[in-house]
Amino acid sequence: MARSRGITQELRLAVNSSAVDSLPEVITAALNRMQTVSLDLVELSSVAAVDHVREGRVELAVVSTGTAATQGCETIVLWDDSLVVVGRPQKGLSRPLSLAQVTAEPMVGLNRGVPLQQLIERQAARAALQPTYRVRFPSLGAVCAAATAGVGRAIVPRNSARRYGVPLRAQHELTEPWARREAVLVARDFARLSPTAAALTEQFVAYGAEVEV
């Protein structure tokens, strides 16, 4: 049915939770330029997404550094994907917070099965911390809105906070080293991508340059 409507190429893209939230803008721009292409997003943990690339199940994946080993693959850095703490806007400059400080009070989080939420809870468990949640949402937009309204603090990608208009005075640096990340595009060999995947790669790289400006 899709092919009868002018869609002649299909591409699967493996993405982690941060990428799911960050990619709509670039994907919209890319598909407007690639009128015969349809894109199937597969949300996975970063580890599983990279495994999909290695196994040849997808040509490309967008994941976060520090969450998956990419040996045997090539990567291109796209944009800053650091995690920040979002809460009620402060009157003065926001101060950095540790995971222990964040989890000392009830939080706002994503649904339990979301890979980003699993990462946060895994890191909390390693630090012998037990976060409690006032509410969980299926989307980062809802999480940012509730946290900014004062329901509880949340840990989200900096790029998501930017996209949802969270003011800087409502954002806190998260001091844990694992919170400092970059979004990267992963392929087995960028020189051997299909024309469709190569064109999408160009769109991602261009968008990453705009975000970092």
Which pTM value belongs to this model?
0.78
Q: Nearest CA to 5 among 45, 34, 35? A: 35
- CB distance 36 to 26 below 8 Å: no
Helices (H), the chain: 17-22, 24-33, 46-54, 99-103, 115-126, 140-148, 158-163, 195-212
The overall average pLDDT reported for the chain is 89
pLDDT over 80 at 213, yes or no: no
Predicted local distance difference test score (pLDDT) of residue 131: 95
| C-alpha distances in Å from residue 13, one per residue of 53, 65, 76, 100, 153 | 9, 17, 15, 35, 31
pLDDT for residue 10? 87
177, two tokens: 């080293």
106: its two tokens = 């009830």
- Domains annotated for the chain, with CATH where assigned, are 3-80+181-212 (3.40.190.10), 83-179 (3.40.190.10)
Report the distance separating Cα 144 and Cα 195, nearest Å.
37
Instruction: Check pLDDT > 70 for residue 5.
Output: no
Give the pLDDT confidence score for residue 7 in this predicted structure: 75
The pLDDT tens digits for 56-98 are: 999 999 998 877 788 889 999 988 889 999 999 988 778 999 9
156 in Cβ contact with 102 (< 8 Å): no
